[in-house]
């Protein structure tokens, strides 16, 4: 057994690579923006190092992949797995359950612009805008995000529960977006979304979460190949 072998099934979280809006800091929810050339390099580099036979994510050990339907996530999935797992496969599900938070009227805005907009509306008196608590006007509330993530977590546990004693490898991969993956971590740990748990996950990063021990490692993005 190698050092990378799991003692229980794992959930790997993969954030899509860089886009123009991740560079600018704009809220990117339903906008179907493509990866930049640098984003493609980030994911390709990560995939070549971490995905493949005998590597951290071995496709033969993956029982299911859930992918956001946004093009930046779909492209990241394709670059990571390089055809070893196809979207048409029964083990791959493209679903809104792991899509990015719906930012509604805040789509495309910067945090400072959102705070100024809300200030002019008389919101957040005595406090500062906090998406984990306040949600987004015309978009999703924390309760709605929690509901869909809890639904996904229940499906993951259905896949992994029969194999908690190493009966066979049963890893899961989620390919999605920065904020929703951080939301996933909180719900995986049974924390409400407004629980003050600071996390960062750069574009192209991969992390893993052990179903048997509710702790987490937020991944790093490996240097892109030249």
pLDDT digits (tens, 9 = 90+) for 86-141: 666 679 999 999 999 999 999 999 999 999 999 999 999 888 999 999 999 999 99
Name the burial class of residue 206, with classes exposed (0-12), middle (13-18) and buried (19+) by CB atoms within 10 angstroms of its CB.
buried
Q: Which contacts qualify for 111-116: CB closer than 8 Å, 24 or more apart?
A: 111/25, 111/27, 114/27
| Pair 188, 137: CB distance under 8 Å | no
Give the helix ranges, DSSP H, for the chain: 20-24, 37-50, 71-81, 111-120, 131-134, 142-160, 178-188
What's the pLDDT score for residue 2? 42
Residues 31-89: pLDDT tens digits?
999 999 999 999 999 999 999 998 989 999 999 999 999 999 999 999 999 877 766 66
| SS3 of residue 172 by DSSP | strand
Max CA pair span of the chain: 60
Beta-strand (E) ranges in 118-186? 171-176
Q: At 35, list the tokens.
A: 């990866």
Residues 143-161: pLDDT tens digits?
999 999 999 999 999 999 8
| SS3 of residue 179 by DSSP | helix
pLDDT confidence band for 167 (50 / 70 / 90)? confident
Residue 215 has pLDDT above 50, yes or no: no
Residues tagged active-site: 16, 100
pLDDT confidence band for 226 (50 / 70 / 90)? very low
Residue 214 has pLDDT above 70, yes or no: no
pLDDT confidence band for 3 (50 / 70 / 90)? very low
Distance CA 7, CA 5 (A): 7
- Which CATH number does 10-220 carry? 3.40.50.1240
Binding residue ranges: 28-29, 72, 100-103
Q: For 16-25, 106-115, 203-212, which range has the lowest pLDDT when averaged over its residues?
A: 203-212
What b/e string do you get for 119-152 counting C-beta neighbours within 10 Å, with b at 16 or more? eeeeeeeeeebebbebbbeebbbbeebbebbeeb
The pLDDT of 1-30, averaged and rounded, is 83
Binding residue ranges for substrate: 28-29, 72, 100-103
Q: 213 or 208, which is more confident?
A: 208
Beta bridge partners of 51: 57
Residue 190 has pLDDT above 90, yes or no: yes
Length of the chain: 226
What's the pLDDT score for residue 165? 81
């Amino acid at each position: 057994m190698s050092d990378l072998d799991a003692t229980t099934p794992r959930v790997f979280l993969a954030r899509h690579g860089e886009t123009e809006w991740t560079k600018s800091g704009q809220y990117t929810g339903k906008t179907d923006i493509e990866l930049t050339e640098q984003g493609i390099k980030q994911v390709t580099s990560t995939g070549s190092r971490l995905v493949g036979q005998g590597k951290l994510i071995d496709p033969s050990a993956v029982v299911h992949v859930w992918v956001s339907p946004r093009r930046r996530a779909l492209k990241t999935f394709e670059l990571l797995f390089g055809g070893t797992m196809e979207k048409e496969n029964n083990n791959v599900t493209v679903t809104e359950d792991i899509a990015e938070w719906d930012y509604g009227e805040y789509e495309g805005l910067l945090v400072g612009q959102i705070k100024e907009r809300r200030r002019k509306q008389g919101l957040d008196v005595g406090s500062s805008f906090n998406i984990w608590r306040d949600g987004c006007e015309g978009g999703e509330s924390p309760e709605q995000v929690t509901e869909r993530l809890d639904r996904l977590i229940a499906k993951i546990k259905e896949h992994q529960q029969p194999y908690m004693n190493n009966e066979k490898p049963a890893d899961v991969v989620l390919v999605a977006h920065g904020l929703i993956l951080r939301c996933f971590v909180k719900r995986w740990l049974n924390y409400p979304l407004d629980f003050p748990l600071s996390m960062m996950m750069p574009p192209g990063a991969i992390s893993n979460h052990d179903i048997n021990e509710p702790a987490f490692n937020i991944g790093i993005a490996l240097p892109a190949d030249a």
